[in-house]
Chain A
């Protein structure tokens, strides 16, 4: 292509400015540049584990580890007792459900906690293609649940709310312990015991400022479902008739009026505590953190770094992140690691030679392989878009949560481990309790490499950017390579639009068709069939011009550009999917040639390597979506427990799995067509994703709650109905008005939305004192300061302080109004003589966080100048006459006003 471009341009290149010349240079050597970009992208991708940074706690208020944990062996013993009690209760009872609930209720009541039982049903599973547009599942529980066509008893979450003694009840921390009553394992019982013992400790804690909500999530259907159902009810209460009956559930199984759903303010953070029996005979207990939520969302990194810091500080655990185990056997990866190790060692030595105090740190091959394994796993989880645990339910409500999973073989005898774990949880809770604001400081876009290393977006965007830069370069190169005949571009655009529309139609079709079929295999078959149908337009494309550049180049250039844009957009939504897409699409798109020529290229000895590779690669890559589904199904058959399994089984693939597969499916359409002569259409993967987020303009124009239109035409604000005295807002008339204003021959005009209250309060309801309260987005402030007290009362000077002073502080984060002693969180007594949230010990903090306090001063040093006898800034003259004093006052006044 590059060669063609050179031949085309007979005249010497225009000597423009540097940028233009650079662009021309790049376009001219597009093949080389994109090759270099690809290689650089892949190399930098492999370098990610080396480039990872150490985790750090960003939010100062967290103060992890600043207080001594009080969880002791005594509490562990109590946890063991409670666990044993649960097991004996369940084994001896005839009605374990009822007895257990009663037992739990009594326990929680004794702790002074509010408790209730939340009943829920798993959502009816349906494979909805457009699921991610309307993700509301209903967990409404009646007397029975209909699960897979059978009637079953609903799941019952037990919830205890520990009200903080002095807190105002605004915020809450959630602790989740999944349990399954039907087959309660020893680990499960201990988890319950430990949680109860921890609650007991917390009920006595004086430092608690936020309410603690403990949810014993009935994982009868699934861990995720239980937590999601509870959170859903917490945030979006049901007020329907049936739910009202099923909402409360007492200890004795009857519905009681007394025990109903209670809440505890806005949720700051959630922690899911899970205990599982480790496989194998190793007696090492370890702690795993799971953080990936739905659609690849991650919780605030401080959640992980606090846990990591507390663990590494006390050195009691082996903290791990889930990785891909098989990778560790890959020798080539290990050797790559060795190369990096050697290079890193050399760099460190070099650095040490120059700077004697510099730390010589480098990534060892072992670290590298582990990092790759964890990174891949994390990316894979993000890519699947399925949460790795019940913490994912929190993320759906924009709350931060992580799962802490204890993997151990003999918890019963591992006293120390349990005590340390209790201390860890106490420490983490205490840290979160210290928070004065919601989590907002730390990163949200990151990928963990190891428990104490992460790659932030600023690093991982580089390889992606390098890969993505191929698309515009290649598109530009193609653009300039041929002299387009008139109409070729129009045709290209038409073809792309046609294929896109067809694919979109195919994507929506299953949602409609699935109403006709009920059985899962039929649906799968339909899905596959429809996916195959996506290829249809490609087959239909006529091949009148035989592989001429005129036909093929504009089309390819256009598709490349669109693909690049779509991938860029997708990277903002779910980076892992975008990265995988880029890795997949870059070689595919760049090597795409008219199929006939590449087919021939395979046999022709003269043809280039790229063409040959392309001919082999393209069909192989198209199988990707199928491989994904097969892998997931294989995992299911292997008996792995995970969320995605059941969702896949029931065809409610999360939106991103769908998106991704649809993307790859459609992108594969081009290269899959064996008969077409010009299989060049690369549909951009996420192109329709962006468009679909908008509701169709012509649909559902009815008046909903949010549909206030700021400009309501001539009648003014529409909710001043009473003031206007027009009980029936003349909708017809206004429609006609609109219609006449925008005459359209075909009548497909878009109706404007009007505000018309159909519901209460009806016309004549409101008294609007002032019609000025108009549209909702007047942001400018009007500050009329009227202050007409003639008595200068004490505190008058406060008056101007609030609204006019800037609202942001650059100082350390101290509680603004709670620092007075003794504040609401101040601690008394010897036993609890540990620092509270606002107590800040700089030395300690330095030791812990590895960073000292703010050490910078922004003000200059004040040097006392020579005494010139002139009044300096701080010199004060008592007013000699009235004018002087007035002057000062005036200035002051002006200053205030001008601010």
Chain B
């Protein structure tokens, strides 16, 4: 999260309201163009600055407070995600997508206010604490092979928008070396792409809420429903002020994003949209609010391209009838409507005022709208086959059609796009730096003509992952950018393989940031005339006096650089045959036996003796000697017994095997 904003946010909240704890709950629903429904729960607790450690709090979870104090967390974001965010169908460049889209598995980013030397150890302890708190194996992030120190992707102090940042130096190739950068960051980033997410992670998360799942919006969280959706992402964001001065207090935001499948199976392929209601989606209606919450509201968001369809219904006299219009009809009337500068609408429902809210949309006409799309379709994949080598490819392909050009404040004519890539690569993937190549529109170009900044940290075996951070600047007319780097696959020790080693190894997502793209929605109070819907909708002033009832709206207004995550890739390494140890043991034993047997034989035997023996043996042949030995009755009896035993064992074996 953007630090300046967060600070301002906390500041505003604390200054507007008396020094008291505060809790708000909000739910945003958004019909998606492919017929699915996005539900985004947002719970925020704030804690004013306190002077003692370990006080009792009224609303704020003590566990989190202790965590913050113990590890001096300035900012932390933890996400549990299952499924992929479909950037093409659900949107890229809008604030909700920005909030919702997270990589598969667990992702943890933390900025710690501890001395530089202690950051890594504090991070390790933090992962253990979180692991216990959320019943997840976050403690695996403690190992230095799983996390890294981002240099410019997460630096709050780096100035992306202005013209003065190091990134902006025109035509200068910069490689960040060792400690050359101004000061080291205390931010750490780690991801566990394989972590499975389920209810055992949700329950502790719910426990942090003052009403748990007993009242308010959380009553909608029917476990089977939210886990059978197409996407599920649960997040925890902690922001706290300066620990030394302690003026700002602490904020805890908990969000849960689910994309629910179309309620009904469509038979006709023509209309993708399906009608839905809250009770249809979640299995229950919304009854009342959490009594402890200051705000409890439900929003229905209509995207720009969808809201445009409503423009036809507009006239000067009558406002848009949201309950019943040409495109859809709603089951109940919103209490307020907010409009953003770009034209999207936010219909607000107060959960407390309705005794029973069952918000629903019934589509009247087949509307078709497109989600907000970024400039590029980004994908990362592994090229090559086999267990020896391959290459990692990160490709950007320009999207056709309305590519929601992100807003870049302060820059008039945008002629180029900045892209920053942060890629963590496990040590067993041995990158070859000299193979790093950039191609624009299918042509290989000179590396430094495109790359503005690069930091390449080679991996250390079993100690640290390779970290590649690259900042590109390409012309706005570019159609395709492809980055390629080749690697060899390393061999792992037999006990370094996970139990299902033949599944492969997950490569964490690449984090791709568009620093000049600021994703936010600006809600406007007065009719500036950008959109004619604005002229008629009732807009409440939310910017000047940010009342707590607009926490969410405020959040949407925060400027943050657009960040997207690439796919998680699966890499097959050369896996040993795990039954091999047995074979090896058998083989080794045989070889050893043969070796020692023959060695002893060679050492013990004397040639002269052998010759003498053979001379003696000449008198009577071997066979006749043996026969003589057999004729002895005692020997015969022993042999008979042995034979009977052998036959018995053989018969027994035959019977049992069949």
Contact = CB atoms under 8 A, between A and B. Distances in A.
Contacts of B393: 237
Indicate the size class of the contact surface on chain A: 35 or more
B490 A798 contact: no
Nearest to A165: B230
B70 to A, nearest CB: 7
A793 interface: yes
Interface in B17-57: 34
A114 B88 contact: yes
B515 to A, nearest CB: 22
Contacts of A873: none
Given A760-B437, A761-B434, A768-B458, A258 B399 contact: yes
A84 to B, nearest CB: 16
A828 B222 CA distance: 13
A236 interface: yes
Contacts of A265: 567, 569-570
Contacts of B131: 793-795, 798
Interface in A801-842: 802-803, 806-809, 813, 815-818, 820-824, 826, 828
A793 B499 contact: no
Contacts of B143: 803
Contacts, number: 266
A114 B175 CA distance: 38
B383 A235 contact: yes
A235 B572 CA distance: 14
Contacts of B223: 822
Chain B interface helix/strand/loop/mixed: mixed
Nearest to B461: A778
Interface string B265-295: 1000110100000000000000000000000
B125 A823 contact: no
Interface in A161-204: 163, 165-171, 204
Interface in A186-243: 204, 206, 235-237, 239-243
A782 interface: yes
Interface in B611-658: 614, 617, 655, 658
B418 to A, nearest CB: 20
A7 to B, nearest CB: 23
B77 to A, nearest CB: 19
Contacts of B442: 239-245
Interface string B414-453: 0000000000000000101111110101111011100000
B441 A817 contact: no
A258 B401 contact: yes
A691 interface: no
Contact of A168 (B104, B401, B571): B104
Contacts of B571: 266
B382 to A, nearest CB: 7
A206 B128 CA distance: 35
Contacts of A757: 433-434
A204 B265 contact: yes
B133 A770 contact: no
Contact of A257 (B265, B381, B399, B500): B399
Contacts of A826: 227-228
Nearest to B462: A781
B436 A772 contact: no
A780 interface: yes
Interface stretch (B157-165, B192-200, B314-322, B523-531): B192-200
Interface stretch (B296-304, B357-365, B478-486, B540-548): B478-486
Interface stretch (A48-56, A325-333, A434-442): A434-442
A257 B397 contact: yes
A358 B398 contact: no
A398 B386 contact: yes
A638 interface: no
Pick from B224, B432, B480, B488 the residue with the most CB of A within 10 Å: B432
A541 B397 CA distance: 66
Interface string B56-88: 000000000000001000000000001110101
B142 to A, nearest CB: 8
Given A244-B480, A807-B496, A260 B397 contact: yes
Given A171-B570, A793-B128, A436 B496 contact: no
B244 interface: no
A239 B570 CA distance: 22
Interface string B82-103: 1110101100000000000000
A168 B617 CA distance: 77
Contacts of B501: 437, 807
A355 interface: yes
A795 B139 contact: yes
Nearest to A820: B198
Contact of B447 (A760, A794, A808): A760
B460 A772 contact: yes
A761 B129 contact: no
Contact of B199 (A761, A794, A806, A820): A820
A794 B133 contact: yes
Contacts of A206: 228
Nearest to B385: A397
B494 interface: yes
A796 B484 CA distance: 40
Given A358-B658, A770-B460, A263 B128 contact: no
Contacts of A204: 265
B312 interface: no
Contacts of B270: 110
B88 A760 contact: no
A799 interface: yes
Pick from B224, B389, B458 the residue with the most CB of A within 10 Å: B458
Interface stretch (A36-44, A467-475, A783-791): A783-791
A789 B130 CA distance: 13
B567 A773 contact: no
B384 interface: yes
A789 B399 CA distance: 49
Contacts of A639: none
Contacts of B83: 165-168, 824
Contacts of A816: 498-500
A539 interface: no
B127 to A, nearest CB: 9
B280 to A, nearest CB: 14
Nearest to A247: B442
A858 to B, nearest CB: 14
A426 to B, nearest CB: 17
Given A235-B383, A769-B178, A168 B84 contact: yes
B178 A767 contact: yes
Contacts of A803: 143, 495-496
A855 interface: no
Pick from B197, B199, B227 the residue with the most CB of A within 10 Å: B227
B568 A168 contact: yes
A828 B491 contact: no
B325 interface: no
B198 A823 contact: yes
B140 interface: yes
The 8 closest A-B pairs by CB, nearest first: A794-B132, A244-B442, A795-B132, A760-B447, A757-B434, A258-B400, A437-B502, A110-B269
15 contacts: A168-B83, A168-B104, A239-B442, A239-B444, A241-B443, A243-B442, A262-B379, A706-B389, A719-B458, A759-B434, A761-B454, A803-B496, A808-B497, A816-B499, A826-B227
Given A245-B442, A824-B198, 16 more contacts: A15-B617, A236-B383, A263-B381, A440-B502, A706-B488, A759-B447, A761-B175, A767-B455, A770-B460, A779-B492, A780-B493, A789-B124, A789-B125, A794-B131, A795-B131, A807-B497
Interface of B: 34, 70, 82-84, 86, 88-89, 104-105, 121, 124-125, 128-129, 131-133, 137, 139-140, 142-143, 175-178, 193-200, 223-224, 227-228, 230, 261, 265, 269-270, 272, 377, 379, 381-386, 389, 393, 395, 397-401, 430, 432-437, 439, 441-444, 446-448, 454-462, 479-480, 482, 484, 486, 488, 490-504, 506, 567-572, 575, 578, 614, 617, 655, 658
